[in-house]
Structure 1
Amino acid sequence: MASPNRILIVDDEMATREICRDFLAENGFEAETASDGNEALQKLDRETYNILLSDIQMPKLDGVALLRESRKRFPEIEVILMTAYGGLPSAIEAIRFEAYDYLTKPISREILLNTVRRCIEKIELRRKLKETNKKLLEQERLAALGSVSAWLSHRMRNSLSVILMCSHYLRTRFNAPGDAETQEVVGAIIEKVKLLEKTTTEFINYSRSYDLQKVTEDVNVILADVIKSVSVHMRLSDVTLRQELSEGLPKIQCDPHILNEAFENVLMNAAQAIGEQKGQAIIVKSECVTSTPGPTPQTSSGEPLRTVAVTITNTGSVIPEANMERIFRPFFTTKDYGTGLGLAITKRIVEQHGGAISVESSEQGGKKTSIRIVLPVTAERPAAENAEENRG
């Protein structure tokens, strides 16, 4: 998504283009120029802009024609028209094709700046409304899933328990040397039942509504518990588990048990990505940051928050570019036995904690994939700062 401050200025007069560009750049906007409507359309085809600031009177393709064409091809862009020859027909056309505003030259710097800022506010409000609607639809879908899963889980789990008990009975009943084939069949049934139990549990976890019981906690304490719980699995899989946990991290407001589930999902996903490769590693890193590349929690004013970042990196595998945007979607999986819900559950948990999650994957310096979870901290100072003050 483009920055909401990208503006394309279109005017056949070079002086006007450059004055507008320099003035807007001085006020923090990313401004580029085009000399006519055709050049503007070519630039819009190649790059994304948020505002089109266009003169009306231009050769080849004038501003009103550019407005009409941009509405067809780039409906998200906002258009501000400028003219030194204001008149009713052009104003009517501007209204008809939903130009954001119609300014008459000469335009004062104050009017131009205020108009652009109001336009940016509209773009930001539209983006937030779109996100809110998307979340509401997701909540409605999850509510429907939750009511179905409550019934489904009861029926499925009861049935699976009976099948599993019968399978174990058959395994003990047919254990003579000549019953090897029967043992193999029963073993296959047991494995499939366990897989179905796991699938049912993950489906329920995804569809349920998390009631967070937040406390103030050190993220390293949660990570230590998770690492301990998966250490045997990693050792048996011949995966080296390395810790790079920064000391004196500021604490976060979280539900430790729910966040534990999120971290464990990522660790197990990393182990599954490594598969049967030998000599690979998973690195768990925690650090305090005030800004991070990629998605970052922000204050209502748009300023970066002080955050704690947890990065879990596995060597030996990369995610294809086509899958990068899909790995957090429900039911997306590249594994024959996977449900595609583990990372989707993790994303929901992180976002309910006011955080953000992102992924990076590269073959530079060897195959590796990193999942980064960024969480806002409480107002408390780091333990190291408090200790220093106490010593003083």
Structure 2
Amino acid sequence: MSQAPDSAAHAASTAPEAFDAAFDGQAPPLRLAVIGAGPAGLALALLAARYLPHAQVSLFDARPLERDVSGDPRTLALSLGSMQLLQRLRVWPAAQAQPIREVHVSQAPPTLSSPWFGPSGEPEVRISAAEQAVPQLGAVLAYGQLVAPLQAAWQQASALEPRRLVSRFGQAVDGLKQDRPDEIDAGIAERFDLAVVAEGGVFSEQARKSLTRDYRQNAWVGTVTLAPDSPVGVAYERFTRRGPLALLPLPDRDGQRRAALVWCQPQDEDEVEGLSDAQRLAVIQQQLPDRVGRLLGISPLKCFPLGLNAERTLVEGRRIRIGNAAQTLHPVAGQGLNLGLRDAFALVEALRRDPQVDQALRRVEWQRAPDRWATILTTDFLARTFAWRWPGLPAARGLGLAALQAMPPLKRALAGQMMFGRR
């Protein structure tokens, strides 16, 4: 793994010999490199710091430490399981997060309509925290509001154990080299026993992985302001002819009710850029169910091309990828970060149980495969159906939603998958 030349002096201050001496006669030390200080990488580093006392953890990120990330407005939707993991690390910013009390998935006309489908006559699935006997299904917050406390917790931990927990902010990693079967080369400065790649990025900027599919869809993201009488804590996903449209509840700001918007459009029919704010609001309002309430305003929108970009396996030698570094997904299911946090937990748990790195990595690959592939395949299937123009497809999708709503065991299974992944 090559790194910036100015890291050599820092590496000398954390000499492997000093770390080895601290564990003389105990379990062999593990030199762990975590590449990427986003939510998944920071969570992994903190988990390793807490549960792997024999590990020397070096956290790399090209971003300078002094760059303030707290104001990054990108929206994250976290499941209940992800919340519980962050609460265990004592970094969950409850005051900045909006709980999700209910998820409402429906399909916009044209589709079948029937009084059997619910009060609106449209096919829909409603999952509530109350019926699942949990306090909330998940939460929504801004990217910076999660990364800032994660980073602060890591900095606090590394200040207490500077020889064991090493911050390498402002030091980009240019590449990884598998020097020998039992070591990863880190250039002249040092070597690592295991490298975890947690750098994500968006689909359009990533190098292509083993499995890739360009959906030829754009996601327009921003925020909308809702009427004061709009339901609180409800996440909406609306299947439209052109693609999914989602509203995720956000904490009120200045007394205004808000929601994060994810509006997917096929690239060859995308006219969003040419619309005024009033026109955008009118189009979105027309596509949403009445229960959402009235939209009062909309922020400037950013556009991101969408695609699938995934590795066939998480592990390659002594290198493992987690989160978006392993699989970048369509946002239709909102599971990208949740999948990455489950990857991080599974890796640390495997290393805690088995000090033999290769055996631990085999355990992670086997353990994570069902959850990972169920999420990848489901998300990919849903994303591709919006490009299909088969006769009867909207009706079939609507009947599927109605069947889920009518069968409590199936709905409970779906809710469990949303909250905790496949277990």
Measured against the shorter chain, the TM-score band is under 0.3
* TM-score, scaled to structure 1: 0.21
Under a length normalisation based on structure 2, what TM-score does the superposition of the two structures give? 0.20
Question: Which structure is higher in helix share?
Answer: 1
Structure with the higher fraction of residues in strand conformation: 2
Q: Which has the higher contact order (CA 8 A, sep 6+)?
A: 2
* Structure number with larger C-alpha Rg: 1
